[in-house]
Structure 1
Amino acid sequence: MITLKDTFGQAFHALGNHRLRTFLSIMGITIGITAVIAVSTISKGGNYVVYSELETFGLNSVWVYRNWNDDSPLRRARDGSGINNDDYLAITDLAVSLGIHQLSPIVRQGRRNLQIRNGSHFANADLLGVNTDYVDIVNDALTDGRNFTHTDISRKNPVALITPNIASKLFPSERSPIGQEFRIQNRRVVVVGILAEKSRDFLSSIGSAGGQNANDRILIPYSLMQLIRGDTQISNLHIEVAEFEFAAQTAESVVSLLDRRHRGNYAYSSETMASYIETTDRILGGVGLIGVIAASISLLVGGMGIMNMMGTSVLERTREIGIRKAIGATESDIMRQFLFEAAIISIVGGILGLLVGGIASASLSYITRFPLLPSVTGVVTALVVSLLVGVLSGYLPARRAARLHPVQALRAE
């Protein structure tokens, strides 16, 4: 009986006798496995990028606001946002029963005619009035200073949290803006905290960042913002639900409560991060499916290349097979050798595909600064798939070779 060592040696020798054909077959598998790695990498990296950016809004977020597009003449004629401080307090009192974990009122002031300056230095920023919970709700981090306190809110203290980008515009010569003053509409405000930078580059590129640059924000107590505006209106409510699965239910409950409190004089709408995540999952799933189909086609072509090569090899080596059978080689010996040849092609092609895919992924990750690196699951899957493709593609030719009758094989020219 032929040993495995001898079988491997014969397989390598046979492949070496047809270097160009072997090389082309290996390249077919290499391209297919590179495609598998690319799909795995892009899928993993895409999910990471999208979800890390969605997280900057708060994954359990719900937004409730007035629907200004309501067709009712009565509702359309009403002034104001339809949400005030009393509504906010009423919802806060019912937070547990409504499924609310944290809640922040949002009071906005448009950039138009909004003057934010420090002497001769000006900044164009998104100015938001919020409460103490807002930083936690949207997963903001402070790199320096402190968050707002309940005292800041109740006393309408002139304090602010700003981003490094705003700090560089208002305080270009200061090492730390903490404790420094600037003015909002001629009202003196003191910087008490610095917000960490946030990345929403991908969402911004597809127009899904809510029209807001996270790194151009200034946060102040919502009570101070109302003082600046001269009213007690709240632009919208930003809610963090206790249970992600019940986000839509919480949104409906809050809208219903507001509708009852205002006796139907305003129309309200809500949005949930859960709905955005659901849409994102569908899009990423569709993109991933297209990638899988493309990779499968590449592997199919590679497998057909191996099958064609092995079939040709059987025809060319018919007399060799007949001689080996005449001197005692069994069908299993012949079949094993051809399967080993197919396996060697697929394994070498798979390893080369991993190397090419890994280098391409690392290069793309370096250029884009996104974590586009192959997953362990993707690597293992690629190796297993390459081996299976080789063995399955080589099975029929190997079986054909093993079943050749020695006498007929020896007569072949």
Structure 2
Amino acid sequence: MTSVVPKPPVYERLHYREILAVSIETFKSNKVRFALTALGMVIGTASLILVVTIGLTGKQYILRELNSIGTNMITADYEGGTIYGGSTSNDFMTLDDLKAIRAQVPGIVAASPMIQLHDQIPVPGGKERDVLILGVSFEYQFVRNLVIPSGRFFDDYDTNARNKVAAITKPLAIRLYGSEDAAVGQPIKLNGLPFTIIGTFKERVETFGQSEISDDTILIPYTVGRYFTDTDAVKELFFSMSDSDRVPLATQEIQQVLQSRHRPESVYKAENLTQLLDVAAKVANALTAILLLISAVTLVVSGVGIMNIMLATVSSRIREIGVRKAVGATNQEIRLQFLTEAVLISLVGGVIGIVSGLALPVSLRFLTDYRVPISGLSVIIALVVSSMVGVLFGTVPATRAAQLDPVESLRYE
């Protein structure tokens, strides 16, 4: 015979409703006090939401800027010397190395060799200026994610035909000809040979001179750059992968191919931006964590405010507590009553703070094209933290109210 679990009496099911109703009535009779107490939680939770939003936005911006440089890009260069520190003849990379790597490493969608030259060109004012000339292939534009504001970049036909064409940086075009558009079509002499400027270029993201491109850089076809060198050595190799997930493994494979094609003692280095991206992400996360700690201090201060107000509320309601105990209220019920009020203040403030904190990023999403990141986890954390603050800082006042002597409370004036 199965036993039937009896349903709890109706008065027990309504017990918590009564506690909630009493709490709401208390707030209605002390609206100003309730609003000022909840204000601290509003500010605290709103700042927590905004801090997470700012942190995610900053992280998104940093990663997007680094992506613009080329997260799929891998560079390889010859470091010189030997792994044992001895001296030996140079063992530079060549165009054959690039061809071998493209054949042996899957996933490469673009590649370019680079040779480096230097020259001086006349500038307005009768002076000469040092310029950096880089001989690259037409795929260099895609590997380095370059922007072409005016004219065009040289193509495969220019490279194969060894056309004497050049692309110059935007700052150099303005310095020499006054504007980017005016530079296109102008003749320029490099190392004694006449070239025609067919376009201007710039990096998609400003690297402030921390890349191979400077303000006074001129790009020419690699095949033409060979006219000025007496060897087939290249200074650097550039590769772009079809999938960013392949970059770490491909970096190792490129280095292995280079090492296998040269003397064992020669030192080569293949690098990518993955490590830089990881560092940037960690820095952004660390800054977000620090800002979250600052927001947590605000929440703690709000919790102390709630505790102070609830202690004052207990003092002003001593007689009420005595009456409730006289008619049968237990210490647990008195404790639960005041704890409920503290949690309600904290939760209401937290919800209003969350709405206020989300208002800015949501508005920016609607008013602008920029997709401000919104963290659902931060909303959950804000709700949990606001509830915990109410419980932690409401426990002391609730315990003090429960411990009041009913006889002394009834005598209290």
Residues 146 and 201, structure 2, Cα contact 8 Å, conserved in 1: yes
1:318 is aligned to 318
The 5-angstrom pairing of residues 57-136 of structure 1 reads 57-68=69-80, 70=82, 72=84, 76-79=87-90, 82-96=92-106, 99-109=107-117, 114-117=119-122, 125-136=131-142
Give the % identical residues: 24
Q: Aligned letter for 1:10?
A: T
Distance 1:275 1:173 in 2: 38
Q: Structure 1 residues 101 and 175, CA, compared in 2 at 3 Å: closer, same or farther? A: closer
Work out whether 1:147 is the aligned partner of 2:163.
no
Work out whether 1:286 is the aligned partner of 2:291.
no
Distance 2:302 2:189 in 1: 67
Distance 1:196 1:9 in 2: 67
Larger mean CA deviation between 219-228 and 313-322 belongs to: 313-322
The 5-angstrom pairing of residues 335-354 of structure 1 reads 336-347=340-351
Q: Structure 1 residues 375 and 125, CA, compared in 2 at 3 Å: closer, same or farther? A: farther
Distance 2:186 2:380 in 1: 56
1:300 is aligned to 300
Normalising by structure 2, what TM-score? 0.75
List per-residue Cα deviations over 1:208-240 (Å, max 9, x = no partner).
x63556665432212222223443221111112
Distance 1:8 1:127 in 2: 77
User: Per the alignment, in what secondary structure is the counterpart of residue 106 of structure 1?
Assistant: strand
What's the offset of the Cα at 1:129?
2.0
Q: Aligned letter for 2:280?
A: T
Q: Aligned letter for 2:120?
A: Q
What's the offset of the Cα at 1:127?
3.2
Distance 1:145 1:73 in 2: 48
List per-residue Cα deviations over 1:369-410 (Å, max 9, x = no partner).
xx8967364874575356435543464257545786765533
User: Per the alignment, in what secondary structure is the counterpart of residue 183 of structure 2?
Assistant: coil
Larger mean CA deviation between 139-148 and 100-109 belongs to: 139-148
User: Per the alignment, in what secondary structure is the counterpart of residue 68 of structure 1?
Assistant: strand
1:10 to 14, 21, 26: 26
1:181 to 177, 183, 187: 187
Residues 145 and 178, structure 1, Cα contact 8 Å, conserved in 2: yes
Residues 32 and 298, structure 1, Cα contact 8 Å, conserved in 2: yes
Distance 2:261 2:138 in 1: 25
1:55 is aligned to 67
Distance 1:397 1:11 in 2: 19
User: Per the alignment, in what secondary structure is the counterpart of residue 115 of structure 1?
Assistant: strand
Q: Aligned letter for 1:43?
A: G
Distance 1:124 1:48 in 2: 38
Q: Aligned letter for 1:87?
A: D
Residues 32 and 302, structure 1, Cα contact 8 Å, conserved in 2: yes
Residues 37 and 374, structure 1, Cα contact 8 Å, conserved in 2: no
Distance 2:345 2:328 in 1: 21
1:384 is aligned to 383
1:259 is aligned to 259
User: Per the alignment, in what secondary structure is the counterpart of residue 302 of structure 2?
Assistant: helix
List per-residue Cα deviations over 1:231-277 (Å, max 9, x = no partner).
32211111123443443432333233223323336321221222222
Q: Aligned letter for 1:70?
A: T
User: Per the alignment, in what secondary structure is the counterpart of residue 79 of structure 1?
Assistant: coil
1:172 is aligned to 178
2:44 is aligned to 32
Distance 2:38 2:20 in 1: 22
Distance 1:381 1:125 in 2: 56
Larger mean CA deviation between 293-302 and 29-38 belongs to: 29-38
Distance 1:175 1:303 in 2: 63
Q: How many residues align?
A: 384
Q: Structure 1 residues 322 and 188, CA, compared in 2 at 3 Å: closer, same or farther? A: farther
2:231 is aligned to 231
1:396 is aligned to 395
Distance 1:100 1:229 in 2: 28
2:58 is aligned to 46
User: Per the alignment, in what secondary structure is the counterpart of residue 63 of structure 2?
Assistant: helix
Residues 11 and 338, structure 1, Cα contact 8 Å, conserved in 2: no
Q: Aligned letter for 1:154?
A: N
User: Per the alignment, in what secondary structure is the counterpart of residue 147 of structure 1?
Assistant: coil
Q: Aligned letter for 1:101?
A: V
Distance 2:151 2:258 in 1: 36
Q: Aligned letter for 2:344?
A: F
Normalising by structure 1, what TM-score? 0.75
Residues 345 and 390, structure 1, Cα contact 8 Å, conserved in 2: no
Q: Which is greater in Rg?
A: 2
Larger mean CA deviation between 260-269 and 56-65 belongs to: 260-269
Distance 1:229 1:328 in 2: 101
Q: Aligned letter for 2:72?
A: N
Q: Aligned letter for 2:231?
A: D
Q: Aligned letter for 2:292?
A: V
2:200 is aligned to 194
Distance 2:164 2:303 in 1: 70
1:368 is aligned to none
Q: Aligned letter for 1:77?
A: T
Residues 306 and 394, structure 2, Cα contact 8 Å, conserved in 1: no
What's the offset of the Cα at 1:65?
0.9
Q: Aligned letter for 1:135?
A: Q
Distance 1:174 1:147 in 2: 14
1:365 is aligned to none
Unaligned segments of structure 2, at least 5 residues: 1-16, 365-369
